[in-house]
Amino acid sequence: GAVVSQHPSWVICKSGTSVKIECRSLDFQATTMFWYRQFPKQSLMLMATSNEGSKATYEQGVEKDKFLINHASLTLSTLTVTSAHPEDSSFYICSAIGGKDQPQHFGDGTRLSIL
Amino acid sequence: GENVEQHPSTLSVQEGDSAVIKCTYSDSASNYFPWYKQELGKRPQLIIDIRSNVGEKKDQRIAVTLNKTAKHFSLHITETQPEDSAVYFCAASKGSGGYQKVTFGTGTKLQVIP
Q: Are B106 and A38 in contact (CB under 8 A)?
A: no
Q: Which of A70-84, A88-102, B94-108 has the highest mean pLDDT?
A: A70-84
Residue of A nearest to B94 (CA): A101
| Whole-number pLDDT of residue B95 | 67
| Whole-number pLDDT of residue B96 | 54
B10 inside 8 A of chain A by CB: no
| Whole-number pLDDT of residue B98 | 46
* Cα–Cα distance for residue pair B88/B67, rounded to 1 Å: 19
| Whole-number pLDDT of residue B97 | 46
pLDDT along chain B (114 residues), means of 10: 93 98 94 92 91 91 96 97 96 69 91 96
E strand spans, A8-82: 10-13, 19-25, 32-38, 44-51, 57-58, 67-73, 76-81
Count CB neighbours of A39 within 10 A: 11
Q: Tell me the CB-side half-sphere exposure of residue A73, using CA atoms within 13 A.
A: 9
From the candidates A4, A43, A113, which should be mutated to test the interface with B, based on the most B CB atoms within 10 A? A43
Count CB neighbours of A105 within 10 A: 23
In this structure, is the dihedral angle defined by the CA atoms of residues B109, A33, A5 and B93, taken in order, positive or negative?
A: positive
Band (pLDDT 50/70/90 cuts) for residue A98 is confident
Three-class SS of residue A18?
coil
Flag if B34 and A93 touch (Cβ within 8 Å). Answer: no
Q: Quick check: A22 pLDDT over 90?
A: yes
Band (pLDDT 50/70/90 cuts) for residue A31 is confident
Q: What percentage of chain A reaches a pLDDT higher than 70?
A: 97
> A-chain residues within 8 Å CB-CB of B100?
32, 97, 100-102, 104
Q: Quick check: A36 pLDDT over 80?
A: yes
B53 inside 8 A of chain A by CB: no
Flag if B43 and A106 touch (Cβ within 8 Å). Answer: yes
Q: Which of A13-22, A42-51, A67-76, B36-45 has the highest mean pLDDT?
A: A13-22
